């Protein structure tokens, strides 16, 4: 099974707008058409829950790595498997599998939070495919975490090999690393456009292009990005007087696309942590030497940050401030999915750090299935006007708008 099977029906002659519209339909389609096409060719599928999974392992084995990031579906089957006080993403992620919208050959979750860890047991009780936890280290500061993670990747690769019925060589891995290195480079270019010329690429369109990568092989994703990035750069869009903001809080459960579109009406989102797992590694992964060790090293030492990874080198509030500075943002939208413990916990130090720095911020919660944005629109508009037209308070503290009840 080659990894260069075409799963999109783009011909390459479509305009940028036509291509973006097509990609949006693919990303929002809870029937997973690309995965169905892949399976129809006899391909096997590895589903991995948020946030980060070394997809090179699946790719090198000829599997399609699919990111489980929730879906806009009614949870008729999955709801009875969960109690209250839990986030929406776990319900919809299980729903798409229980209802056969998405068929997997292997499922991997991570100890990113107490809810996600539980998915391995729930999956095992309800789904035929093998389910497991990839124990990414929560002590990356240990001198021994690199060796541990290398061995852990080896263990997962052994399980993958069993499913595909063949051995994955170091050269297979090196080839996949090359594909993913190019993908990371292209995604960095996309984010550079967003940062430097945000009027050319609003947040919801950038999101669509990133999310697409979780549904097709990266070889094809690279082709799409290679064609579209120049078209984006040549776009005939004029700069507007919008507030430059960083959006924080999209590392796991995803805000609905309409919410991002609403934000884009008022703001240029110049950086964010949306689908950060697909952009976790910030540099090229070395191809020389031992591939698994190189991947482990990149996870630990060449990576971004999120509320679900503990690393003494990356105090989250300082990382957020750095993200804001590097993107030359004027304000932040500090968000969290409802019932997301790590995201909600992080809102406190984020707010304190932003207050100290006098950076205005908009504090909110979201849910993947929210459909009403009127409230958000008014509040966001008020926030933006306050920042743009009003001076910060006399004490130097930043403006803030707190919306504890969410925006739906």
Partner 1 sequence: MTVATPSPIVGRGARDGAELFRDWYGDLTQASARGEKAAYAFVMGSMVELLRSFDMNVVFPEINSLQTAVRRVSDEYLSEAEDHGFSPDVCGYVKADYALQLRGGEHPMGRIPQPSVAVLTNACNTYLKWGEIWERMYDVPMITVDVPGTRGAGMKPSARGFERDRLYVEQQLREAIEVLEEVTGRPFDIDRCRDVMRLTNEMNRDWRRVLELNRNSPAVYDAMMDGTVYLGVANALRGTEQGAAYFKDLVEELEYKVEAGIGVLPAVDNGSKREQRLIFVGVPCYPIFRRFSELFSEWGGVFVSSTYTWFASGGLDVNFDYDLERPIESLAEGLLLGVQRAVDAMLFHDTALLEAIDEFDADGVVYHPIKSCRTVSTGLADSRRQVLDNRDVLCLYIESDMMDKRVVSEAQLKNRIDAFFEGLDSRALRRASAAAGGAS
User: CB of 401: closest distance to partner 1 in angstroms?
Assistant: 14
**What tokens does 299 get?**
């996870």
Residue closer to partner 1, measured from CB, 58 or 177: 58
For 72, 178, 181, 378, the CA distances from 258, given in Å and listed in that order, are 12, 34, 31, 15
Residues 99, 126, 377, 386: which binds partner 1 (CB under 8 A)?
126
Smallest gap from Cβ 126 to partner 1, in A, equals: 7
CB of 365 to partner 1, least distance (A): 8
DSSP letters of 348-393?
A: HHHHHHHHHHT--EEEEEE-TT----HHHHHHHHHHHHHHHHSPPP
Say how many residues touch partner 1, by CB under 8 A. Answer: 61
Cβ proximity to partner 1, 30 vs 127, nearer residue: 127
Residues numbered 58-97 forming contacts with partner 1, rule: CB under 8 A: 80-86, 90
Shortest reach from residue 280's CB to partner 1, in Å:
18
Q: Which stretch binds partner 1 (CB under 8 A): 12-20, 175-183, 225-233, 335-343?
A: 335-343
> Which range of residues in 26-34, 42-50, 65-73, 340-348 is near partner 1 by CB under 8 A?
340-348
CB of 130 to partner 1, least distance (A): 7
Within positions 27 to 56, which residues make up the interface with partner 1, using CB under 8 A? none
Report if residue 121 touches partner 1, rule: CB under 8 A.
Answer: yes
The helix/strand/coil state of 164 is helix
Q: DSSP character for 279? A: G
Sign of CA pseudo-dihedral 216, 220, 224, 226: positive
> 31: which residues sit within 8 A by CB, 6+ positions away?
101
Contact by Cβ (8 Å): 260, 203: yes
Q: Does 120 bind partner 1 (CB under 8 A)?
A: yes
Binds partner 1 (CB under 8 A): choice among 127, 148, 284, 388: 148
Whose CA is closest to 317, among 355, 365, 278? Answer: 355
| CB of 207 or CB of 299, closer to partner 1 | 299
CA neighbor of 225 nearest in space, from 275, 189, 261: 189
In the complex, the smallest distance separating the C-beta of residue 370 from partner 1, rounded to whole angstroms, is: 16
Report the residue number, 214 or 307, with the smaller CB distance to partner 1.
307
Counting contacts by CB under 8 A, is residue 143 touching partner 1? yes
Strands 243-248 and 131-133: unpaired
The residue written with tokens 């609905």 in the block is: 256
Cite the DSSP H helix spans in 127-198: 145-164, 170-196
Nearer to partner 1, 284 or 341 (CB): 341
**CB closer to partner 1 out of 131 and 269:** 131
**Of 23, 64, 115, 269, which one interacts with partner 1 (CB under 8 A)?**
115
Residue number with CB closer to partner 1 (144 or 238): 144
Residue closer to partner 1 (CB basis): 223 or 365: 365
Are the beta carbons of 28 and 59 closer than 8 angstroms? no
Q: What CA–CA distance (Å, rounded) separates 332 from 267?
A: 10
Q: Does 278 bind partner 1 (CB under 8 A)?
A: no
Q: In what order do the strands lie in the sheet with 400-402?
A: 267-272, 243-248, 331-337, 361-366, 400-402
Nearer to partner 1, 282 or 348 (CB): 348
Which residue from 56, 105, 152, 172 is in contact with partner 1, where contact means CB under 8 A? 152
């Amino acid at each position: 099974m080659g990894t260069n099977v075409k799963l999109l029906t783009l011909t390459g002659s479509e305009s940028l707008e036509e291509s973006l519209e097509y990609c949006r339909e693919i990303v929002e389609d809870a029937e997973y058409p690309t995965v169905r096409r892949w399976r129809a060719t006899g391909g096997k599928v590895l589903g991995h829950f948020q946030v980060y999974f070394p997809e090179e392992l699946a790719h090198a084995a000829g599997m399609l790595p699919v990111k489980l990031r929730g879906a806009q579906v009614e949870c008729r089957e999955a709801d009875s498997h969960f109690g209250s006080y839990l986030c929406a993403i776990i319900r919809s992620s299980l729903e798409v599998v229980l209802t056969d919208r998405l068929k997997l050959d292997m499922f991997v979750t991570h100890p990113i939070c107490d809810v996600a860890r539980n998915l391995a047991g729930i999956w095992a009780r309800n789904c035929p495919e093998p389910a497991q936890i990839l124990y990414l280290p929560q002590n990356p500061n240990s001198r021994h975490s690199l060796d541990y993670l290398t061995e852990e990747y080896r263990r997962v690769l052994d399980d993958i090999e069993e499913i595909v019925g063949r051995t994955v060589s170091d050269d297979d891995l090196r080839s996949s690393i090359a594909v993913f290195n190019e993908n990371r480079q292209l995604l960095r270019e996309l984010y550079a456009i967003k940062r430097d010329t945000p009027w050319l690429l609003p947040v919801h369109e950038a999101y669509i292009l990133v999310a697409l990568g979780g549904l097709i092989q990266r070889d094809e994703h690279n082709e799409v990005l290679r064609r579209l990035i120049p078209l984006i750069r040549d776009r005939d869009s004029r700069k507007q007087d919008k507030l430059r903001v960083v959006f924080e809080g999209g590392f796991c459960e995803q805000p609905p696309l309409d919410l991002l579109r609403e934000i884009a009406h008022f703001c240029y989102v110049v950086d964010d942590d949306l689908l950060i797992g697909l952009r976790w590694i910030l540099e090229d992964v070395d191809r020389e030497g031992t591939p698994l060790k190189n991947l482990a090293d990149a996870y630990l030492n060449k990576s971004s940050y999120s509320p679900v990874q503990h690393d003494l080198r990356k105090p989250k509030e300082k990382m957020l401030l750095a993200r804001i500075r590097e993107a030359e943002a004027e304000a932040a939208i500090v968000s969290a999915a409802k019932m997301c413990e790590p995201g909600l916990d992080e809102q406190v130090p984020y707010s304190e750090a932003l207050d100290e720095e006098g950076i205005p911020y908009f504090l909110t919660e979201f849910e993947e299935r929210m459909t009403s944005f009127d409230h958000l629109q008014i509040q966001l508009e008020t926030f933006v006007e306050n920042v743009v037209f009003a001076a910060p308070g006399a004490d130097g503290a930043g403006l803030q708008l707190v919306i504890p009840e969410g925006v739906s």
